[in-house]
């Protein structure tokens, strides 16, 4: 339905898009993600014909958008813009009715109320019908513009930051609606700044960075820590939402590497929290041996830190213990959490500092860092002292 082929757009000497390829089929909800200024809005505007591409092509149902008139484009693709401001104080119903314009001739003024009423009902804006759009909140105007796009009855729908002005309740409802439209056979492309919402509702994501599609695929494939760090300039931790099953992204402020490795001997939520504190404080960390389904193992994997696991309710075999012992012996310090067992190896064990904490909420970042520093100081003391 929507085919973007090697599209480049520049404004004067400033390149915005360069060699962008993207396809959105009917029945698909694709999320366009990326940092501010990456070119998401420009890409949407090149698809609906508002911005002409300097190179490459955009096709709607196989036809180049440059060869279609404005009305023809509007019959194929509807757009919900980021800017909700309207120049005149139309009623909300009149704004939604504007969505029917592409389906009317210049001389046709007959009522076309059924699609308008249906669109307002689906967006929960029927009660706003007689109110002037200037008197509506930003979120209410956003929903009215979504209704206008629905009334347009185009097979493709473009949404530019559709949840930016909405409260949590209506964010979910608008994206649920977009997903339903895709399920009904529409091709839906939405620029979404909230990565969690994009991952939850979209079939695929396309990450736009520095004017190019840096990655495209399933949310799990696109939302990868190193890629997010490069695009957004911040460290992130990926988790799985236990309710929705979708990836969630948490931005964290990680300190520069301290050049020291810490092995954590322990399991459970306290050990998982200690691992997180160590990672944020700039330490390389490892953990093991822990049960495969333990939260400490999950935390280590999310942080891309080494972990040695064994099957739940079973003692680790000698090879597993040896792997954990190797991590322990390579570390500068070992933090033993709540008397966690130490893997026994043949090498020299680093200083062991005990961390006794009742629950994860009692884990103090300063206490963990001080424990590591104390261990490092002990390691620097000559053995014969």
> What confidence category does residue 255 fall into, taking pLDDT thresholds of 50, 70 and 90?
confident
Q: Could you tell me how many residues make up the chain?
A: 385
Both 117 and 185 in one domain: the answer is: yes
Check pLDDT > 50 for residue 55: yes
Q: What is the pLDDT of residues 229-250, one digit of tens each?
A: 889 888 787 878 878 888 888 8
Both 164 and 269 in one domain: the answer is: no
Both 220 and 367 in one domain: the answer is: no
Round the average pLDDT of the chain to a whole number and report it.
Answer: 90
pLDDT of residue 385: 44
pLDDT of residue 27: 97
**Angstrom distance (rounded) from CA 71 to CA 319:** 70
Both 207 and 275 in one domain: the answer is: no
250, part of any domain: no
Which CATH number fits the domain that encloses residue 154? 3.40.50.300
248, part of any domain: no
Asked whether the CA dihedral 314, 317, 323, 328 is positive or negative, the reply is positive
* 3-class state of residue 94 by DSSP: helix
36, part of any domain: yes
385, part of any domain: no
pLDDT of residue 223: 92
Both 236 and 267 in one domain: the answer is: no
The answer to which of 33-47, 117-131, 297-311, 369-383 has the lowest mean pLDDT is 369-383
Q: What is the pLDDT of residues 272-295, one digit of tens each?
A: 999 999 999 999 999 989 999 899
Check pLDDT > 90 for residue 127: yes
Both 63 and 206 in one domain: the answer is: yes
- Decide which of 190, 210, 240 is a domain's last residue: 240
**Angstrom distance (rounded) from CA 281 to CA 262:** 11
Please give the full DSSP string across 191-207, using - where no structure is assigned.
E-S-HHHHHHH-SEEEE
The better pLDDT of the pair 244, 187 is held by 187
* 3-class state of residue 212 by DSSP: strand
Sheet strands (E) in the chain: 2-11, 14-24, 28-33, 55-60, 63-64, 77-80, 156-160, 187-191, 204-209, 212-217, 235-240, 247-252, 261-265, 284-291, 307-310, 333-337, 352-355
Asked whether the CA dihedral 105, 108, 110, 113 is positive or negative, the reply is positive
Tell me the residue range of the domain where 167 lies: 2-240
109, part of any domain: yes
Q: What is the pLDDT of residues 188-209, one digit of tens each?
A: 999 999 999 999 999 999 999 9
Both 214 and 281 in one domain: the answer is: no
pLDDT of residue 165: 79
Check pLDDT > 70 for residue 366: yes
Both 62 and 170 in one domain: the answer is: yes
Both 198 and 275 in one domain: the answer is: no
Both 267 and 346 in one domain: the answer is: yes
User: 149 φ, ψ to 5°?
Assistant: -65, -40
Angle, vertex CA 27, rays to CA 121 and CA 172, nearest 5: 45
- Across the range 23-34, mean pLDDT stands at 97
Both 47 and 194 in one domain: the answer is: yes
Question: Tokens 């200024």 correspond to what residue?
Answer: 37
Cα-trace Rg, the chain: 27
201, part of any domain: yes
Both 167 and 45 in one domain: the answer is: yes
Q: What is the pLDDT of residues 34-46, one digit of tens each?
A: 999 899 999 999 9
317, part of any domain: yes
**Angstrom distance (rounded) from CA 125 to CA 161:** 19
pLDDT of residue 381: 58
Q: What is the pLDDT of residues 327-336, one digit of tens each?
A: 999 999 999 9
Which CATH number fits the domain that encloses residue 278? 3.40.50
- Decide which of 211, 240, 269 is a domain's last residue: 240
246, part of any domain: no
- The domain total for the chain is 2
- Decide which of 240, 272, 305 is a domain's last residue: 240
- Tokens describing residue 366: 């300063």
Check pLDDT > 80 for residue 253: no
């Amino acid at each position: 339905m929507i085919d973007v082929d090697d599209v480049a757009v520049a404004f004067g000497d400033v390149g915005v898009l360069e060699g962008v390829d993207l396809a959105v089929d009917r029945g698909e909800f694709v999320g366009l993600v990326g940092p501010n200024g990456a070119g998401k809005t420009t890409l949407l505007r090149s698809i609906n014909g508002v911005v002409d591409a300097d190179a490459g092509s955009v096709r709607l149902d196989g036809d180049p958008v440059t060869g279609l008139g404005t009305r023809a484009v509007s019959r194929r693709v509807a757009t919900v813009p980021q800017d909700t401001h309207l120049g005149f104080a139309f009623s909300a119903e009149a704004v939604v009715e504007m969505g029917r314009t592409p389906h009317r001739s210049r001389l046709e003024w007959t009522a076309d109320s059924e699609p308008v009423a249906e669109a307002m009902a689906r967006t929960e804006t029927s009660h706003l019908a007689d109110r002037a759009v200037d008197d509506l909140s930003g979120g209410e105007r956003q929903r009215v513009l979504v209704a206008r796009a629905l009334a347009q009855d185009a097979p493709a729908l473009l949404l530019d930051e559709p949840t930016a002005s909405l409260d949590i309740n209506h964010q979910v409802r608008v994206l649920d609606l977009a997903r339903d439209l895709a399920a009904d056979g529409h091709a839906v492309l939405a620029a979404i700044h909230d990565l969690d919402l994009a991952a939850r509702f979209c079939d695929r994501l396309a990450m736009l960075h520095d004017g190019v599609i840096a990655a495209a695929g399933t949310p799990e494939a696109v939302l990868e820590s190193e890629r997010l760090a490069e695009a957004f300039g911040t460290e992130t931790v990926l988790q799985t939402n236990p309710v929705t099953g979708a990836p969630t992204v948490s931005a964290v402020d990680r300190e520069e590497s301290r050049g020291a490795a810490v092995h954590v001997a322990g399991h459970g939520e306290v050990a998982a929290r200690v691992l997180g504190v160590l990672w944020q404080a700039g330490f390389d960390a490892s953990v093991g041996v822990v049960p495969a389904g333990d939260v400490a193992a999950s935390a280590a994997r999310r942080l891309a830190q080494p972990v040695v696991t064994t099957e739940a309710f079973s003692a680790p075999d000698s090879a597993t213990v040896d792997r954990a012992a190797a991590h322990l012996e390579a570390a500068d310090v070992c933090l033993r959490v709540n008397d966690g067992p130490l893997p026994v190896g043949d090498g020299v064990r680093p200083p062991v500092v005990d961390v006794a904490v009742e629950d994860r909420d009692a884990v103090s970042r300063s206490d963990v860092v001080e424990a590591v520093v104390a261990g490092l100081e002990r390691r620097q003391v000559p053995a014969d002292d």
